[in-house]
Structure 1
């Protein structure tokens, strides 16, 4: 393990030296995008600070600091975004005292010209505080997309006021985050993955795309909780993605009607007895969806389970069904058959054995996973396809 860490640090130093040389040779006045993507941490703070200074001076539009941390090395300190670069360091007073007195503006930052052009910011394994994030939101007049992943320093994210230009907010696995507040804002898309937190959303007339993936909560009906938090915008949503793995079906819950929804994506466990009832409730609540994506997962110790048959419910708008992570289990087949019977306008079924939400393009899925996919693809072509009417296009990826 120590040898592996030493080799990784050596490669990281080589990467840092290479970036330094590239920036020294750059002669242009502007750059559109600056991206650093490697195994980097606090050891390389001085160089990373200089990269950010360079990007700001070159009026960068897309700033991506995406650093990787091996699982065995999580105790190592992440790179912390330098508050000096933002003019947030006060003398003789704490940062908190200064922040709550008055938020520094562009005039306090010697690299402020660069922030005027920032349109996209992506931070991964970066030590950023609430104050730093608020600075970006308040002082980047054309910032439209913000993604923060594994930011340990964040406790509260607040996007408030029509003056903030942000339209796309993605927050993933920030372990100390307690609260997200979005109000009176122009947000169009909101993505949150992580543990359940206090989520306050109000007066967001442009919000049409929401993705919530929350780890299973003991004794909590996540479906009810999610729709409660989204109550102000549920009728205007056009795209909804929910992770309902491990969520127990509540037959007494009256789903709100999502009148505007066109696309529904659900991460589901198909192998529990009320799975089809749960799916049926979502379909009834979304009378106008045209595309349904089911991302299938199965319990780790899978045992073939009898899935209770849900009552028939004709759906007249659904045209495309995509089954991702397909395996040749009977419960998965029953989901497909249920949709064939009830989606009376169905035109196309797409079967994809690859769990693409876990395995981005180019990532090695391992021999075992690939063998499972080959077996599932064969099952779909030999057994599932023959159950699909000729009027429905069948595609197996």
Structure 2
């Protein structure tokens, strides 16, 4: 009701402005006050009666605009108390249906309520249609889907979202996007359904965002879809398991963001779009070719042998990288890039499995402008005691490398590895601008319990190794930290792991 009061106040102000304009223009309209008579407020009416406002002075398009600014629930309530809003309700532009908005959490009630609302809607003026069927498991509900889409997906619609339950086999009816219905769509998001476009679809020429999650679509079908999406700016594919080959065509000149996550059967990803700015990929054994992505600034990759890919191809194909985040599975490789990332400022590397961490010095050297470096470790072997018996004089040193722009370094899941201590020592000795070094021995979580909690804090897979790592830091690293560098050591919680270090 507060929104309605605000609207009535706005209407009253609009009426007063109209009267002032009519007085200034000499209008003889019935709304203009007579010369010499003051403007009369609601409180001036006899017997304390307030003057009702019918809204007839406002043009219909203004009523529709005011109505469209409300949430769907408030718009429905306003339609129950206002004839003007009741009329505009049939053209309400933002149709968003989920259990929270509808107020029903189960099956038949939700379906009937949505069906009743759409039966009363004219289908004119719809800009957004969002249907979330996640918590509705009654199969008969999907019998309404095609008819609902035919009502809502009309010329002028801009955003279309459809979320289906994962345990149902539902196909998106592509014909609803044919002809002019799909020409205005700018945002398309489908979850848990089959989507089988053909080369006859060809009408999504204004689509800028395409997001497919758990969608059954093949690489060829996606190719048919992309063939008409010349305005596409953002493409997100998640868990689309039927795609084995993905080619991003060169005519997608406006495509700047590409995300491909966990498409389990994908074996080849080839990009030819020239203006990609950000690329996010997570997968298995996939051959990735980014082409000459000269505008690529942000790279986030997790897959097998990604370190070798970064080593052999990236400095040449994407020389303008500014941020890189990579996670390598089961890969032992000495990182020795022969070219440089001249614009790289932020680097994050996750290594699953042990390797010679000192070889990462060459990556730091390949990025002369690097400011932050985050290293996360996931090891599969017990390295306890590996360094404790070593004489510090046996630690290797790498000469001839300087990292003068490096300011912040973080190593998560730090453990007692000789090469890891060698890398840390090298950074401390060759980074004149270093401000902060954070060494986390607690699996990267760093969560400690409070005195009020009765249960343990975040579980440590190897608490003894974490304790050994703290001892190694004290013995081999702490004494090398310059006074200008802040050293942060995250230790195991002493309340939950009380063994004296």
Per the normalisation by structure 1, the TM-score is 0.67
Residues in 2 aligned to 1:46 and 1:231: alpha-carbon distance in whole angstroms: 53
Tell me, yes or no, if the aligned pair for 1:81 and 1:126 is still in contact at 8 Å.
no
Matches within 5 A, 1:1-397: 14=106, 18=110, 21=113, 25=117, 29-30=125-126, 34=130, 36=132, 38=134, 56-57=153-154, 59-61=157-159, 63=161, 65=163, 79-87=170-178, 104-106=201-203, 116=206, 118-215=207-304, 222-230=306-314, 232-250=316-334, 253-269=336-352, 271-272=354-355, 274-277=356-359, 279-299=360-380, 301-304=381-384, 306=386, 309-312=396-399, 313-324=401-412, 326-327=413-414, 329=416, 335-350=423-438, 353=442, 355=444, 370-372=458-460, 388-394=481-487
Q: Secondary structure at the match of 2:295?
A: coil
Q: Is the 8 A contact 1:120 1:144 kept in 2?
A: yes
Q: Cα–Cα, structure 1 residues 228 and 24, in superposed 2: closer, same or farther, change >3 Å?
A: farther
CA contact (8 A) 1:34 1:60 kept: no
Whole-angstrom CA distance in 1 between matches of 2:332 and 2:284? 17
Residues of 2 paired with 1:215 and 1:257: CA distance? 23
How far does the alpha carbon of each residue in 1:239-268 deviate from its partner, in whole angstroms, 9 at most, with x for none? 2222234321237x5432111111111112
How far has the Cα of 1:142 moved from its partner?
Answer: 4.1
What is the RMSD computed on CA atoms of the aligned residues?
Answer: 4.6
Conserved 8 A contact 1:146-1:170? yes
Q: Which moved more, 1:138-147 or 1:304-313?
A: 304-313
> CA 1:355–1:215 in structure 2 vs 1: closer, same or farther (change >3 Å)?
farther
Question: Per-residue deviation at 1:200?
Answer: 2.9
1:170 positional shift? 0.7
Greater relative contact order structure (CA < 8 Å, 6+ sep):
1
Distance 1:304 1:189 in 2: 40
Q: Give the Cα–Cα distance (whole angstroms) in 2 for the partners of residues 137 and 328 of structure 1.
A: 47
Q: Distance in 1 between matches of 2:217 and 2:137?
A: 13
Unaligned runs of 5+ in 2: 1-104, 180-194, 388-394, 446-454, 491-501
What is the CA distance between 1:127 and its match in structure 2? 0.8
Alignment correspondent of 1:73: none
Tell me the SS of whatever aligns to 2:308. Answer: helix
Partner of 1:6: none
Structure 1 residues 103, 206: CA separation in 2 closer, same or farther (over 3 Å shift)? farther
Q: 1:250 to 1:389 in 2, by over 3 A?
A: closer
The unaligned stretches of length 5 or more in structure 1 are 1-12, 70-75, 89-94, 107-111, 217-221, 357-366
How many matched pairs? Answer: 342
Q: Rg larger in 1 or in 2?
A: 2
Q: SS in structure 2 opposite 1:339?
A: helix
Distance in 2 (CA, whole Å) between partners of 1:53 and 1:380 is: 64
| Contact persistence 2:297–2:322 (CA under 8 A) | yes
